[in-house]
Structure 1
């Protein structure tokens, strides 16, 4: 890092501080202001926030690392623009009519208070133990590699970077609320995109072009069934990414994440009306087409550069692990450190900062919303709006502390960090996805049906995670039906079967319990909207929204055809 790089970073931080100060001057008088930015966000802010919230350390470390280690396999999860369209076209009208602040609150309106509590608990635990801690962990890893600093003032630079990142982000989230998250995303998103495009272009230039990357990676087998790194669709016998499991599993996980997770949906709830919210999802869907090229492909480029260097008798491009394999997780920061000149390196660091801070800010704000609205306000409904904002700020601070305390455990996991995350998401998603999907598509879905679907998903998920921990540490354990079902079955196939089982539970329980009265589900399920509600939704879109939707779907199909 040279002086020019530090000047660029200082300019970025000054602009960020300016945005937060401007937001604070607008005031945060009530919970709608603090948690949803006053419900007056435009489509640009919503779409940018959806994208910037999604892009975090998982992409800078995990996705680029996946590209360097397994090629195109993880692209199924990233070419998910069509699922954001599902949020805009299908779920926005229901969420808008319900006027809720959180997804658990929506489940209470559709089902019962117990369903709200179950989803709140699952969401808060998953945020603290996975998203917050992992983002911070990977952030410290990235900055340690980019800056090339092992220790500072006698302290491991990892901790300085990780804790500094958390504290800085927490400050502007606590004082700025949802408006700070939205408007800083508008600043951060173009910087992140610019920096990543620079890495992509310079990486391809260094390697010798796109065809050279495809040639080198296309010659590397990834299984015993003829598949190579550049294959997106792999044999159904592939132990990690069988094509049927990848298509269904990524769709279920993607549906849960993009259409029902508070972390993402809160961006849409902040929209001033259905039109702005839907167009925000369309804009976000366009942006979501980019990560494959901005993060996964650079990982493949780093791998190809490594192979080319080894073939030419060099030491290799990527650092090696002690077991003799490449350290794929540092693919992106290694490209930054080795390819960029002064000034541009500062821009990339700003982009990385933008990704990490925006993702963390969204997590903090969403977690604070869940605690304040779904727990505190329910037990103390007479609490004033100003005090609820303060409670939200305190909840954010508590989540920050818990996230930091969990970092040592995350750091000790090391190489299996992203495998752990995939397992958690694959068993977290099915029950929630089933409850929301049937909740808005089938009027007969009862309160007890939805509740037992969530409970079933939680129990099966805990059994699967427990089996993973146990059998991973007891390799000589005897074969049994339990071991086969909860451990041996591929995680993607298990995700699909778990979703179908949760759907079956919801259907059966609903058929044997009392149907919800029409007045309770008015406007929350297909076929229950009033003429006025239908007219409002119909007036919120026009032919341009349809055209852009078709374009996004067309690009997705073209991508699958090219990398088939």
Structure 2
């Protein structure tokens, strides 16, 4: 779980130089947007796809800056603090961006689509297109927009150390002012400038984010006494691959589940694919994807490892970290010199604004391409741009309206939002894989695979809301069962605190039936206090874990069993189920038409294949090989 309440800098450390850097950054942003507005936008392709004239630098920078959001700036460092390298798999999907560049860029360029749902209509049917559009819009507004807007409000409020301000004689929580301000400012430049504004501002935002974060990494390693001290402090958490029965990150789930989510996100999500669709040609789009692949190697080093550094400094007694989620912020306030704090804050705001702008534009593109044009096919290009701006403004308004919900339920929502992509990805990934690579996939097969998969994913999400907290108690017992075996003087107090929290959780969720489970935890605490090696405490916690699982199954039956399946394993099961549904239904229904089969990967003509071959050279292969080599070396080192 990631808590969004964090401080990017300590208010007392803010300096006039940092303020000057922040002002200069926004001035540069305004200058870029004004320049973009002078470039006439006459068609919907201009507005949503930058006229399909974007080059590799803008494409790669936009993919990266759009990907980096609050879950990286807040959650990834926190994950590094708590679980070390466990979450690095998702950040090392640079190789999946190469799949986008080498496999899907030529395919999308050949079929000349505007949105991902548009492809599903050509390949399957209009109802399949509508289902994906609805899924995408709802997920954008209720997940990505909501989290980013809430995080932005917190960032603005804490950067300036302001709790409230006076507006027309009334005291207003500065959170509301800052959150709404972020949405409105970002919304204005997205509405006016469209994809060009997003592309060109990303070229400024990406280096700003990287400069501050790299400085934090270097200075943090120096403060911790070097990489060796960080490795020693993190212990077994330095490894990527965890046992198959790990309660959170089993290797069986991580390896395959992360690939399913990665394929959905990098190769089929409108949010990302829209950037390569903006490319001037296949060459520029592919090289933009390759650049994004290089950049995607960085988050582990500039966000996750700083969290591990913060943990090392905490264990060394050099830095007090209030919570894991404050790891990145605490490093900024303690490690960075004056001036660099301003750069990091610019990077924080740049990432938030870029993610938000990309969401607004992608959502508007989906609405115009998949709903408005469908019912108003005679609409002029000028009208489409106007409707796109209105749609963006509506999404801005919905983002603002969702803020009160995020403010009240942020902790609970953010915990479950982490699982949403694992529930959405299987259905969408399966329908694209089957639709693109199997000509026999029928409209009915694609529709039912996507629809049933989405329904089952949302059913699991409801179960998460109902029983997730109870399952969390069982997972906590399983984690502590392993941790007490390697207890040290440094971790003794921390583990004792977690055991007491576990007891409280059992009492909360099993007030009348959890006495035996609580007793086992209490005996484990007493065994550790007696100075044991942790073996007895581990056995007692294993008994507590078993008792808790049995009691929750007795209370809720099959529904709890489904909710208790590891979320990554559930992602894999759901993906395979969607594939099976698509295959069975396709074999039971009439084969797709030749026109529908044209929208498959292997239907390219000889001329189209030759055009793709001319679009790359040896340097594209060399750079792709370098990225793959770095990924392989990373896994070999941290295995």
Query: Structure 1-normalised TM-score?
Result: 0.93
Q: Which residue of 1 aligns with 2:595?
A: 519
Q: Which residue of 2 aligns with 1:221?
A: none
Q: Which residue of 2 aligns with 1:388?
A: 384
Shift of 1:422: 2.1
Shift of 1:473: 6.5
Q: Which residue of 1 aligns with 2:271?
A: 263
Task: Identify which of 449, 453, 459 aligns with 2:455.
Answer: 459
Equivalents in 1 of 2:86, 2:396: separation in Å? 33
Q: 1:297 to 1:148 in 2, by over 3 A?
A: farther
Equivalents in 2 of 1:53, 1:504: separation in Å? 34
The answer to whether 1:180 aligns with 2:206 is no
The answer to whether 1:211 aligns with 2:214 is no
The Cα offsets for residues 457-476 of structure 1, whole Å up to 9 and x where unpaired, read as 11111110111112247756
Q: Which residue of 2 aligns with 1:556?
A: 631
Q: Which residue of 2 aligns with 1:323?
A: none
Shift of 1:519: 3.0
Shift of 1:140: 2.4
Q: What pairs with 1:68-217 in structure 2 (closer than 5 Å)?
A: 68-153=81-166, 154-217=171-234
Q: Which residue of 1 aligns with 2:288?
A: 280
Task: Identify which of 64, 72, 88 aligns with 1:59.
Answer: 72
Q: Which residue of 1 aligns with 2:313?
A: 305
Shift of 1:206: 1.8
The Cα offsets for residues 256-277 of structure 1, whole Å up to 9 and x where unpaired, read as 0000000000001000111111
The Cα offsets for residues 162-184 of structure 1, whole Å up to 9 and x where unpaired, read as 22211111111010000001011
8 Å Cα contact 2:220-2:331 kept in structure 1: yes
Shift of 1:364: 0.5
Task: Identify which of 499, 508, 512 aligns with 2:584.
Answer: 508
Equivalents in 2 of 1:341, 1:152: separation in Å? 29
Task: Identify which of 489, 502, 509 aligns with 2:565.
Answer: 489
Equivalents in 2 of 1:412, 1:203: separation in Å? 34
Q: Which residue of 2 aligns with 1:25?
A: 38
Count of residue pairs the alignment pairs up:
542
Query: Structure 2-normalised TM-score?
Result: 0.82
8 Å Cα contact 1:61-1:142 kept in structure 2: no
Shift of 1:28: 1.4
The Cα offsets for residues 177-210 of structure 1, whole Å up to 9 and x where unpaired, read as 0000101101111111111111111211222221
Equivalents in 1 of 2:393, 2:216: separation in Å? 35
Q: 1:299 to 1:140 in 2, by over 3 A?
A: farther
Q: What SS does structure 2 have at the residue aligned with 1:152?
A: strand
Equivalents in 2 of 1:214, 1:76: separation in Å? 18
The answer to whether 1:536 aligns with 2:620 is no
Task: Identify which of 418, 421, 435 aligns with 2:417.
Answer: 421
8 Å Cα contact 1:146-1:334 kept in structure 2: no
8 Å Cα contact 1:49-1:182 kept in structure 2: yes
Q: Which residue of 2 aligns with 1:322?
A: none
Equivalents in 1 of 2:330, 2:141: separation in Å? 29
8 Å Cα contact 1:9-1:350 kept in structure 2: yes
Equivalents in 2 of 1:485, 1:124: separation in Å? 31
Shift of 1:46: 0.6
The answer to whether 1:370 aligns with 2:366 is yes
Shift of 1:481: 6.0
Shift of 1:15: 0.7
Q: 1:332 to 1:160 in 2, by over 3 A?
A: farther
8 Å Cα contact 2:48-2:194 kept in structure 1: yes
Q: Which residue of 2 aligns with 1:324?
A: none
Q: What SS does structure 1 have at the residue aligned with 2:238?
A: coil
Equivalents in 2 of 1:461, 1:73: separation in Å? 24
Q: 1:344 to 1:183 in 2, by over 3 A?
A: same
The answer to whether 1:444 aligns with 2:417 is no
Decide which moves more: 533-542 or 251-260.
533-542
Shift of 1:416: 4.1
8 Å Cα contact 2:449-2:581 kept in structure 1: yes
Equivalents in 2 of 1:552, 1:146: separation in Å? 36
Equivalents in 1 of 2:313, 2:178: separation in Å? 28
8 Å Cα contact 1:230-1:563 kept in structure 2: yes
Aligned Cα root-mean-square deviation (Å): 1.6
Equivalents in 2 of 1:145, 1:209: separation in Å? 31
Q: 1:473 to 1:308 in 2, by over 3 A?
A: closer
Task: Identify which of 309, 318, 321 aligns with 2:321.
Answer: 318
Shift of 1:143: 3.7
Shift of 1:100: 1.4
Q: Which runs of 5+ in 1 are unaligned?
A: 219-227, 320-326
